[in-house]
Amino acid sequence: MEQDYTPQDSNTFNSGFNIKEQLDYYLSNWKWFLLGIIVCLLGAYIYLRYTIPQYSAVTTLMLRDEKKGGADTQMNAFSDLAILSNIKSNLDNEIEVLKSRTLIKNAVKSLGLNVSYINEGRVKSEELYKKSPIQFSFLKFNDGFEQSSIVYKVISSDKNHYILYDRNENKLGVYQYGQTVTLREGKAIVFETDKRKNFKENPFKVMIQMRPVSAVAGSYKGRLSVKKSGDRTTIVELSITDPVGERAEDFLNGLVAVYNQDVVADKNLVFESTSKFINDRLKIIADELDGVEKSTEAFKIRNHVTDIKSETDIFLSSASDFEKKEIETETKLKVVGVMQDYLRNANANDLIPANVLTTDANAAGLIDRYNQLKLERNRMLKNAGPQNAVILTLNKKIEALRSDINEVLLRLRGQLEISKRDLAYQNAVFNGKISKIPTLEREARALGRQQQIKEALYLYLLQKREETAISLAVTSPNAKVVDSAISSGAPVSPQKKSIYMMALALGALLPFGILYLLQVLDNKVKGRSDVEKKMSVPILGDIPTSYSSEEVIEANSTTSAAEAIRIARTNLEFLLNQVPEGRAKTIFITSTLPKEGKTFVAVNMAGAIALSGKKVLLIGMDIRNPKLEDYLHLPKQGVTNYLSSKDLAIESLIHKIPNYEAFYVLPSGVIPPNPAELLMSNKVELMFDQLKSEFDYIVVDTSPVHLVTDTLLIARHADSFVYVIRANYLDKGLLYIPYKFYHEKKLPNMALLINDTNIRKGYGYGYGAYGYGYGVEVVKKSWYNRFLDKFKKET
């Protein structure tokens, strides 16, 4: 039973990193790096030549932000109105508004950016923004087409006519400029513009592309960038990229204009709503105020008052006067009564008080005359008797005056009583009015209070209506343009320097990456160094790839492969120095897998030995898959025929190779059905005993050891084994097979030979570290022929 091989069984297996080897690996493939750089630079040139450049436009705004102490707005006039106190602008909200789809859609629609005019080229098309010789407009859309993508082509026919094509290049007709055209999407019209006279191509071909506004707005929204300049400012920067720099400027300016219009419209909407509210309230308050005034009027008419306070004063003064007059009249009545009582009870000689009735001149005169007569009579009675005629006359006069005084007093008393009753009535009237004054004052104050409230509110609303009207007239926008939109003079994309630098880097990195991946993924043996890293087995040499048509070595061969075989032949002698004289030195050639070049090595090794003057026999013992016939013209009979027959002589199967003095070949023969049994027969040993006595060297081409046991069955007849390892073919993981055979001594006196190694510049044909290079002819084929040769070998 075979032992399992593990690389840890030997300290010769290692995977050290060799910088020099890696550099040599990449430098040897410099052509791929050059090709990669050239291809990438060419691709970059083509990309820059046919890629539509993108231009960037930037505008700077200062937005109002009350949170950060922005400038006063018209709304400050309404700070005392709670219903308007929440109308504030916020910077973050305004930025989101600037990026809103609705605002962008309005800007696109107002500028007509959903319509594109394109001058088609053979490879690259040019957009004719504001340079189109025509203008295409739909007067009216049919149902279902306003949100669809529309494409038409206009080709000028003559000075006044054009030809119209649809998107499928179908001719729709010849029309006159300004003529209304009926299309399936609706009615359209094509005008000439003032750009036609400056248009380079005549006749011109212009493709009109009309896309839905919403789709175009989505495109602009994706490309629009809005960012703050700093945390402490309200400065906002708007930028966008577009194939047309002027269009990018127009879009940003249009967006700002639409934004300001929208903000002003919002503010005006608030003011208009406020104005409507104020006007409605003014109408209501005016009606209410008119009702209050009418109620006040009715109150005054009903209560016969104009000014309650002044009339109250008049009432109080009049009541006091009437009360005084009533007291005076009462006093006078009492004086009159006293006078009447006195007049009734007075003696004939008593005088009547003269100064009591001062208010009645007639009574005072009568009393004065009465008293005068009384005094005159009393004076005369001193001198005359009571019966004196004069005295009697005076008595009559006094009695008459007394009667007159009494009548005057009665009349005066009546007058005073009438006056007293009238004054009492008037006093009662005024006292009644005075008693109603508190009620009237309360009612008047209520009416006055309502009137004052209505008037104050009416005046306030009138003031606010004027303020609202002023605000509507002078409403300012929310954004102040600090810097108008301006596009970059040079394209921001693609950038030539960056593209070429990237192409240069990619041209170098791509081959490097591919070579690195090939190196990492390629686990094939590359040469002597790979074998030496894995195992400490003698190596005869390495045979470089042969680009010559020469398959068998000749005497005058100077190719690198021929020199390598000669070197391997020389090194092989050191392994055969123990073979006794008189017996042929037997060399077995084998490999791990088929197609590693063991037959090529066997043929050329035998030829090289034969050229040294030795008698050499080449035996084909790979009886399952014989290949000697591919190199030498040989008959079909050979070893298998000898082993399978009883009376066939071996000498009859050996053939001499022309142009060689002592080069003989024993072919493999026909492929047997039982190769292992043939090789186990005693005739194999008899054959080798006979041949070893007749030749100086025997070179045996055997089967691959990894697939069949044929080689191991005849290994004891070998003096030395040359184990062929083909570079760029054998997997490194299979190196354990020769390593195992060497250390288990199943293949006697084994040595390795590396086949098909690459010649690298400065290293000759690759033998050892530097090789010889003396008189070596390195024949190289074109890459095409090398590919064919490799293909032939593989197949």
State which H helix or E strand residue 588 sits in. strand 585-591
Residue 531 has pLDDT above 70, yes or no: yes
Residue-wise pLDDT for 713-767, tens only, equals: 999 999 999 999 999 899 988 999 999 999 999 999 999 999 988 765 433 334 3
Residue-wise pLDDT for 139-169, tens only, equals: 888 887 778 889 999 988 888 889 999 988 8
Residue 507, pLDDT score? 92
Which of 10, 60, 56, 32 minimizes the C-alpha distance to 484?
60
Q: How many residues does the chain have?
A: 795
Average pLDDT over residues 18-42: 88
Residue 40 has pLDDT above 80, yes or no: yes
Of residues 75 and 126, the one with the higher pLDDT is 126
CA distance 91 to 93: 5
Share above pLDDT 90 across residues of the chain, in percent, rounded to a whole number? 27
Of residues 66 and 341, the one with the higher pLDDT is 341
Q: Is 756 helix (H, G, I), strand (E, B) or coil?
A: strand
Omega before residue 386 within 30° of 0, cis? no
User: What is the edge-to-edge ordering of all strands in the sheet holding 663-666?
Assistant: 539-544, 750-757, 720-726, 585-591, 697-701, 616-620, 663-666, 655-656
Which of 589, 600, 591 minimizes the C-alpha distance to 698?
589
Contacts 24+ apart (CB under 8 A), 548-553: 548/779, 551/600, 551/603, 551/631, 552/603, 552/604, 552/607, 552/631, 552/632, 553/604, 553/607, 553/608, 553/611
CA 723 vs CA 532, 743, 771: distances in Å: 14, 14, 21
**Position 157: which residue type?**
S
CB 559 within 8 A of CB 780: no
Who's near 470: CB < 8 A, 6+ residues apart? none
CB 778 within 8 A of CB 761: no
What's the gap between Cα 158 and its chain centre? 47
Residue 221 has pLDDT above 50, yes or no: yes
Average pLDDT over residues 561-570: 89
Residue listed under structure tokens 């102040």: 480
CA distance 726 to 561: 14
Give the dihedral sign, CA 433/435/437/442. Answer: negative
719 CB neighbour count, 10 Å cutoff: 20
User: What is the edge-to-edge ordering of all strands in the sheet holding 134-141?
Assistant: 134-141, 186-192, 180-183
Who's near 162: CB < 8 A, 6+ residues apart? 134, 154, 155, 156, 174, 175, 177, 190
Residue 656 has pLDDT above 70, yes or no: yes
Domain ranges (residues) in the chain: 7-51+494-521, 115-210, 308-474, 538-782
Q: Is 573 helix (H, G, I), strand (E, B) or coil?
A: helix
Residue 38, pLDDT score? 94
Which of 736, 721, 239 minimizes the C-alpha distance to 487?
239
Average pLDDT over residues 208-215: 90
Check residue 591 and give left, alpha or beta (phi > 0: left; psi -120 to 50: alpha): beta
What's the gap between Cα 438 and its chain centre? 79
Residue 84, pLDDT score? 43
Residue 349, pLDDT score? 66
When the pLDDT of each residue in the chain is averaged and rounded to a whole number, the result is 81
Who's near 595: CB < 8 A, 6+ residues apart? 726, 729, 793, 794
Least confident of 464-468, 560-564, 678-682: 464-468
CA distance 274 to 257: 25
Residue-wise pLDDT for 271-287, tens only, equals: 777 878 888 888 888 88
CA distance 447 to 301: 14
CA distance 534 to 527: 12
CA distance 740 to 531: 14
Average pLDDT over residues 585-612: 92
Omega before residue 494 within 30° of 0, cis? yes
Confidence class for position 77, pLDDT limits 50, 70, 90: very low
Residue 54 has pLDDT above 60, yes or no: yes
Backbone phi and psi for residue 325, each to the nearest 5 degrees, phi listed first: -60, -40
Average pLDDT over residues 373-400: 78
Residue-wise pLDDT for 252-265, tens only, equals: 999 999 888 888 77
Q: Is 592 helix (H, G, I), strand (E, B) or coil?
A: coil
Residue 82 has pLDDT above 50, yes or no: no
Residue 91, pLDDT score? 82
Q: Report the predicted TM-score, pTM, of the whole model to 2 decimal places.
A: 0.55
Who's near 498: CB < 8 A, 6+ residues apart? none
Confidence class for position 251, pLDDT limits 50, 70, 90: very high
Helices (H), 28-178: 30-50, 91-98, 101-111
Residue 578, pLDDT score? 85
Report the relative pairing of strands 539-544 and 115-119 from DSSP bridges: unpaired
Confidence class for position 22, pLDDT limits 50, 70, 90: confident
CB 510 within 8 A of CB 36: yes
Strands (E) located in 193-331:
205-210, 225-228, 235-242
Using CA atoms of 671, 675, 681, 686 in order, give the dihedral in degrees to the nearest 10. Answer: 50
For the record, the structure tokens of 73 come out as 């707005």
Average pLDDT over residues 293-312: 73
CB 665 within 8 A of CB 655: yes
CB 544 within 8 A of CB 758: yes
Choosing among 3.30.465.10, 2.40.170.20, 1.20.1250.20, 3.40.50.300, the CATH entry for 538-782 is: 3.40.50.300
Of residues 474 and 560, the one with the higher pLDDT is 560
Residue-wise pLDDT for 535-557, tens only, equals: 888 999 989 887 665 667 777 77
For the record, the structure tokens of 371 come out as 């008293």
5 CB neighbour count, 10 Å cutoff: 16
Residue 330 has pLDDT above 90, yes or no: no
